[in-house]
């Protein structure tokens, strides 16, 4: 029984099997990523950007908002049904009554959903990198840091989604609650925290600013250039603090969600 319910067994069975719903969703998201990346790239190639965005940072801010939406939407799409679907289909009572560690179910599905979301977001960055290389024979190195920042956001978002999924246990309410949290509540909170440059959008904004400048340049961007851009837009200490805070937030939400799932009562 133990071998049938290990982390990786649950990882593969629920998310990576050829007939799983999650794999089909991943393929759909990757196609969407290709389309969205192409649109973002074509917008960046408009010669007269000032006609659309009068100030120099407006395009980067627009790209950051778009990137934030794509990352959080992917995390919501992949994680909303991970736990709550068991109770919607009444299979949760069966799973929780089996002699299996609940932590294995929770961790296995968390890793699977996070991996799928990471793969979908990675496809977005790969398309941008390929477009940049084929047109300018260069790839902005800041894309690597951009993917790292996106992964931190995915980990944080997925932890929150799994906590909601464990508490609410209904697919529709988890999906609606996640969208409300990330696209209505979070922007309001970000606006309040922006005074201290501790908002999530600030992380994507700084990176998007560097990426768009690199794509529009024929010169190869270095890490030193990226740091310079960071220092021009934000205080570096606050930038690092925001990243550390996001990691702590992801871990704390994950632990709380795991605790709630482990102490669920079988009805």
Alpha carbon of 116 to those of 130, 138, 242: distances in Å?
A: 21, 28, 25
Cβ atoms of 150 and 64 closer than 8 Å: no
The pLDDT value given to residue 60? 52
Q: List the chain domain ranges.
A: 3-262
Structure token pair of residue 191: 């606006």
The C-alpha atoms of residue 128 and residue 140 are separated, in whole angstroms, by 10
The pLDDT value given to residue 129? 72
What are the φ and ψ backbone dihedral angles of 222, each rounded to 5 degrees? -105, 170
Identify the CA nearest to 122 among candidates 140, 142, 148, 158.
148
The pLDDT value given to residue 76? 74
The pLDDT value given to residue 38? 66
Confirm whether pTM is higher than 0.75. no
What are the φ and ψ backbone dihedral angles of 221, each rounded to 5 degrees? -75, 140
The pLDDT value given to residue 35? 67
Low-confidence residues of the chain, pLDDT below 70? Answer: 1-71, 84-100, 128, 131-146, 149, 169, 171, 182-246, 264-267
Structure token pair of residue 155: 């980990």
pLDDT in tens, 120-163: 777 777 776 776 666 666 666 666 666 776 777 778 778 888 88
What are the φ and ψ backbone dihedral angles of 250, each rounded to 5 degrees? -65, -45
The pLDDT value given to residue 219? 46
The C-alpha atoms of residue 207 and residue 217 are separated, in whole angstroms, by 15
């Amino acid at each position: 029984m133990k071998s049938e319910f290990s982390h990786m067994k649950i990882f593969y069975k629920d998310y990576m099997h050829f007939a799983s719903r999650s794999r089909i969703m991943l393929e759909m998201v990757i196609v969407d990523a290709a389309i969205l990346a192409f649109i973002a790239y074509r917008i960046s190639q408009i010669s007269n950007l000032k006609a659309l965005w009068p100030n120099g940072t407006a395009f980067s801010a627009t790209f950051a908002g778009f990137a934030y939406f794509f990352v959080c939407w992917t995390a919501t799409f992949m994680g909303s049904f991970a736990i709550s679907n068991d109770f919607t289909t009444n299979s949760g009572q069966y799973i929780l009554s089996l002699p299996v560690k609940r932590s294995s179910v929770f961790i296995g599905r968390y890793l699977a959903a996070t991996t799928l979301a990471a793969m979908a977001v990675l496809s977005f960055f790969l398309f941008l990198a390929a477009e940049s290389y084929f047109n300018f024979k260069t790839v902005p190195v800041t894309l690597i840091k951009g993917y790292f920042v996106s992964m931190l956001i995915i980990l944080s978002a997925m932890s929150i989604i799994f906590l909601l999924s464990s508490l609410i246990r209904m697919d529709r309410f988890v999906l609606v609650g996640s969208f409300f949290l990330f696209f209505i509540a979070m922007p309001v909170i970000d606006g309040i925290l922006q005074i201290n440059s501790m908002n999530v959008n600030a992380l994507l904004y700084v990176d998007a600013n560097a990426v768009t400048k690199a794509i529009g340049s024929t010169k190869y961007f270095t890490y030193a250039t990226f740091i310079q851009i960071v220092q021009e837009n934000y205080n570096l200490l606050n930038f690092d603090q925001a990243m550390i805070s996001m990691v702590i937030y992801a871990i704390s939400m994950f632990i709380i969600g795991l605790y709630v799932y482990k102490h669920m009562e079988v009805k």
